[in-house]
A and B are shown apart, each in its own frame.
Chain A
Amino acid sequence: MKFQDIKDVLTFASFRPEPDDSTVNWARRFPNRRSLLINLNRDGVSWRSLDKGGVLGEQGSLGGELKDVVGDMAEEWRGLTDDGWCAVSVNHRFVISLETNLTRKKGAEEQIRVNPKAALGSKAERGKRYAVKHNPESNSSALLAVDEEYIKQIESIFNGAGLKIGRICCGLYGMFSDAVDQMLEARADYLKGKHKDPLGKIIVIACCEGSVCIMTADEDRWVELRSRSNLYTPDELEPAYNIIMPLVENAGAGSQVVFVSDQDGAAIKGMIASDASGTVISDISREDGLWSLLKEK
């Protein structure tokens, strides 16, 4: 037994999850410690600090290549954290797709991270990292694929700058998963109520930092999913509108929309509402959408 192990037991550190333990949420991993939340876009980086009380603090953004931005900002970022720990959200170089018949064996979700070939079979591509969200009521799943090379590049750049990465995730996929969870929960409550009318089609829309993910669910089936990264800007929302509206229109009147976005995408909801009469829109967006998600999960 090393001295460090004894020290960790006596300081109760051994009873807390390790900072890079991905099975534990961020809030539990960093109690009373400052950390940094970072979002990577194709043409820039935005960030938000998290203080010891878990309250969002200083924020900023800087355009440019990731390596240059990290090189410029590393010292300031380290100053915003206690030990240089940060959570990174990638918002480009990812694909979210709808898949069917993925294995759901016990431990498959963990296996998909470490050995995607074993979990996905022929659907696994070389050089990708995956995360999966299963539909518990059917055989469909929402699959996230991110370039492994990009992940390694991020890790290399951050480690070289003295920053420690506690999590790398796709912010859009995280918000989408959160919205799907809430939709499934609401649907379960509706079914428990023994309503005679079917719930109808539900469209889940997630907008994050210019990226969009839309999925149509028809009762217990997930039928269609589209996602695009770097699709819109706060000044140019039309591309997002153009990809969302066909699915909303296809769902028809009486369908429901579960909408989640960050502040930049909030106006998209208004555009949908004005053009899709008869569609109920449930906005579950939170203030500081992406940052709230990263700090809580």
Chain B
Amino acid sequence: MENPFQTCHDLKTDRPDIGQPLPRILALLPVAFVLTVLGAIALNALFFFQVRNSEQAAEEWKMKVAEETAKQKEIAAKTEDIKDEERRANDVRDWVEGSRQIQPLAVSIARSMDVKSSIAELSLLREPENPKQIKLGFKFDNGGQKQLDTTLQAVNALGYRSYSANQTAGKEGSLDYNATLIWQNGNKESLNLTANDE
């Protein structure tokens, strides 16, 4: 109730349920409510934009993942190509390494021949599928086993080893010798040999 000096008398019939105004301190409640509602709206808006941004970011990441996966596949394909290239290069290297020059071998065999011995037949065959191996067909007159050992020693000196050897002795020191020559990397003298393409 206000100071009676500040209010005028009243003669009307009072309504029985006239209520006093609530204490001003309680006005904090609707203020808090309004602030809460505004805060909720603000947070909702914030979350809405965050969700939208995160969805966009997820889409971007998915696209990036797809791009990276495609790149990865491309790289894998390239790697495979490189491996193929490597395999072919290895094959070429093997072929190159295997395809040692036959001429030194033929010269070495010829020089190993004693003055009394003579070469009747000499064949050096190399198959394209397996260039490391050289089929040696060697037939000479006179000298026999001794000449053969000398010749094989000369062949070995060039870094070749003989496998699947087959020799047939003939009359008067002639001998027919067939073997497969395989070039050995570790041979010292072979380092002096040059490849065909050099």
Residues of chain A touching chain B, judged by Cβ–Cβ distance below 8 Å, are 9-12, 14-18, 20-26, 28, 88, 90, 109, 113-114, 129, 131, 144, 146, 151-152, 155, 165-170, 173-174, 177, 181, 293-294, 297
From A22, A28, A174, residue with most partner B Cβ within 10 Å: A22
- Which of B19-27, B68-76, B144-152, B160-168 sits within the interface? B19-27
From B6, B12, B14, B22, residue with most partner A Cβ within 10 Å: B12
Distance to closest chain B CB from A64 (angstroms): 23
Cβ B30 vs Cβ A10 within 8 A: yes
Q: How far is the CA of A15 from the CA of B14 in the complex (A)?
A: 20
Cβ B11 vs Cβ A17 within 8 A: no
Distance to closest chain A CB from B18 (angstroms): 5
Interface CB pairs A-B, < 8 A, 24: A9-B22, A9-B29, A10-B30, A11-B30, A15-B22, A15-B24, A15-B27, A20-B18, A21-B21, A22-B12, A23-B7, A24-B7, A25-B6, A25-B7, A25-B8, A90-B11, A165-B12, A168-B11, A169-B11, A173-B9, A174-B9, A177-B8, A177-B9, A297-B7
Cβ A22 vs Cβ B7 within 8 A: yes
Q: How far is the CA of A114 from the CA of B11 in the complex (A)?
A: 9
Distance to closest chain B CB from A23 (angstroms): 4
Q: How far is the CA of A181 from the CA of B19 in the complex (A)?
A: 28
Q: How far is the CA of A168 from the CA of B8 in the complex (A)?
A: 9
Other than the given A28-B2, A113-B14, A165-B12, 13 more pairs (CB < 8 A) read A11-B30, A15-B27, A16-B21, A21-B18, A24-B2, A25-B2, A25-B6, A113-B10, A166-B12, A167-B12, A168-B11, A169-B11, A177-B9
Q: What's the A-B contact tally at a CB cutoff of 8 Å? A: 88
Residues of chain B touching chain A, judged by Cβ–Cβ distance below 8 Å, are 1-2, 4-15, 18-22, 24, 26-27, 29-30, 33-34
Question: Which 6 pairs of residues, A with B, have the shortest CB-CB distance?
Answer: A22-B10, A131-B9, A297-B8, A168-B12, A23-B1, A129-B11
Cβ B19 vs Cβ A18 within 8 A: yes
Across-interface contacts of A131 in B (CB, < 8 A): 9-11
Distance to closest chain B CB from A90 (angstroms): 8
Cβ B13 vs Cβ A152 within 8 A: yes
Cβ B2 vs Cβ A169 within 8 A: no
Cβ B10 vs Cβ A167 within 8 A: yes
